[in-house]
Amino acid sequence: MPTFQTSPGMRDILPPEAGRFEQLVAVFAEIVESAGYGRLNTPLIEDYGVFVRIGDATDVVSKEMYDFTDHGDRHVALRPEVTASACRAFAQHRPTPPWKVFYSGPNFRHEKAQRGRYRQFEQVGVEVLGVDDPLLDVEVIALAWEFYAALGLRQVDLIVNSLGEPADRARYVAALKEYFTAAGDALSAASRATLVTNPLRVLDSKRPEDQSLIAAAPSIADFYDEGASAHFAAVCAGLDAIGVPYRVEPKLVRGLDYYRRTIFEFQGGTFDSAQNALGGGGRYDGLVEDLGGPATPGVGFALGVDRTVLACDDEGVFAATPRQLDAFVVDVVDGTHALALTTELRRAGLAVDRAFDGRSMKAQMKLANRSNARHAVIVGPDEVATDTVQLKPLFGGDQRTVPRGEIAAQLRKSTSS
């Protein structure tokens, strides 16, 4: 048993899996950069207060924050998400809107881990600040949609809803409170507690005894004012126009307090568990202001990379693909010829590996095979004497003798063909 192992909920991601994560982020970056989004890097550690705006009543803040007091006696926290940081950055630097940014990186939540749910988890996401247009909501949703499609995922469901304007939401919350309170003991004890702290979240209860009550609960759709109603209608019409399939779910609420109007969530169809959300987002028009900036509309999403990768596994898409090597140098003389050859070939722009420790030819050939290189470049006493190398294709084809000076050119030729 090793003396040390990863902390609970933390994990190592080994090659080639870590490379796969990297590639996934690259796919995401390509899509959003092509749409005019620029990368934003914010600190992993922020003032605790930045994240409190996510919602005092949410567990994310009340009990799952990785917070501590630093040596300067500042109350800080590891970020549980990036949206609040992005808004803080906007308020601090005041870039000219519209400000379209994307990010990727780790976030932290101190909660009990499960598969696809770690204390340190990766997210990719976008945020746009300074635009009220519902067509932007559509663009943002479409980017996430295209991302899943680019990975090859097919079983992803898009759920959308609107929480209305703050006043609508307040009236709805009041109505919900009244409705569930009237239900009395018919509502589970746990949900009755939730009703006090965060009434909207009662709709998210998965307790069987609550389901019929939830189904008959008032619908947010009946509380929109004209503006919110028009905004949401425009979002739906936009999605229709570009052929992004979605389902309107009036009972969809999201956990964070800052959401206003449009909210959406992507669910993985292959997950046979409650942990089926791949990502989600929405509008958070008041957040920048809450963080001390000017009143600024905002919309964005965050997608969980860990679960997305699991979804890819389930659907058998986006497999890890290690770098294809051009050649593997086998030196059965003393290893120094491999040193010279790998250096020369790498300088020539080729991807090349070799063996060490003076292993037998058979062992080196096994390594060459395992490396998945296209060719083995073999150097033995005979080759040294004649200033040549053996070039052996590892995926079929005849081995041939190549003058030492031509190996780079030969390799490049067979690589490009």
Partner RNA sequence: GUGGUCAUAGCUCAAUAGGUAGAGCACCAGGUUGUGAUCCUGGCGGUUGGGGGUUCAAGUCCCCUUGGCCACCCCA
Q: Which of residues 191-230 bind RNA (CB under 7 A)?
A: 194, 198, 201, 204-207
Q: Which is nearer to RNA, 9 or 95 (CB)?
A: 9
DSSP character string of 218-254: --GGGS--HHHHHHHHHHHHHHHHTT---EE-TT---
Residues 6 or more apart whose CB falls under 8 angstroms from that of 150 comprise 27, 31
**In the bound complex, what is the minimum distance in angstroms from residue 3's beta carbon to RNA?**
11
By CB under 7 A, residue 265 contacts RNA: yes
Instruction: Report cis status (omega within 30 of 0) of the bond before 322.
Output: no
- Decide whether 133 or 201 has the Cβ nearer to RNA: 201
Stretch near RNA under the rule CB under 7 A, chosen from 149-157, 176-184, 219-227, 395-403: 395-403
Tell me the backbone φ, ψ of residue 91, rounded to 5 degrees: -65, -35
**Contact predicate 160/282, CB 8 Å:** no
Residue placing its CB nearer to RNA in the complex, 244 or 394: 394
CA distance 415 to 374: 8
Hey, which residues between 8 and 37 contact RNA (CB under 7 A)?
8-9
Q: Binding segment for RNA among 15-23, 95-103, 170-178, 372-380 (CB under 7 A)? A: 372-380
Among 117, 346, 404, 412, binds RNA (CB under 7 A): 117
Task: Count residues binding RNA (CB under 7 A).
Answer: 71
Q: Is 378 helix (H, G, I), strand (E, B) or coil?
A: strand
- Asked if residue 247 binds RNA (CB under 7 A), the reply is no
For position 254 contacting RNA by CB under 7 A, the verdict is yes
Residue 332 makes CB contacts below 8 A (sequence gap 6+) with: 360, 361, 364, 378, 379, 380, 381
* The one segment of 66-74, 169-177, 179-187, 380-388 that binds RNA by CB under 7 A: 380-388
Among the listed ranges 39-47, 56-64, 160-168, 287-295, the one in contact with RNA (CB under 7 A) is 56-64
Shortest Cβ distance from residue 261 to RNA (Å)?
Answer: 16
Alpha carbon 344 to its chain's center: 39
Q: Tell whether residue 362 is a contact of RNA (CB under 7 A).
A: yes
| Residue span binding RNA (CB under 7 A) among the ranges 54-62, 137-145, 161-169, 344-352 | 54-62
Q: Does 370 bind RNA (CB under 7 A)?
A: yes
**393: phi then psi, degrees, rounded to nearest 5:** -65, 135
Q: Please give the structure tokens belonging to residue 377.
A: 């470049």
User: What is the rounded distance in angstroms from the CA atom of residue 90 to the CA atom of residue 84?
Assistant: 10
The distance between the two most distant Cα atoms of the chain, rounded to a whole number of Å, is 95
- In this complex, which beta carbon is closest to RNA, that of residue 95 or of residue 209? 209
Build a one-symbol-per-residue string for 167-186: x at contacts with RNA by CB under 7 A, - elsewhere: --------------------
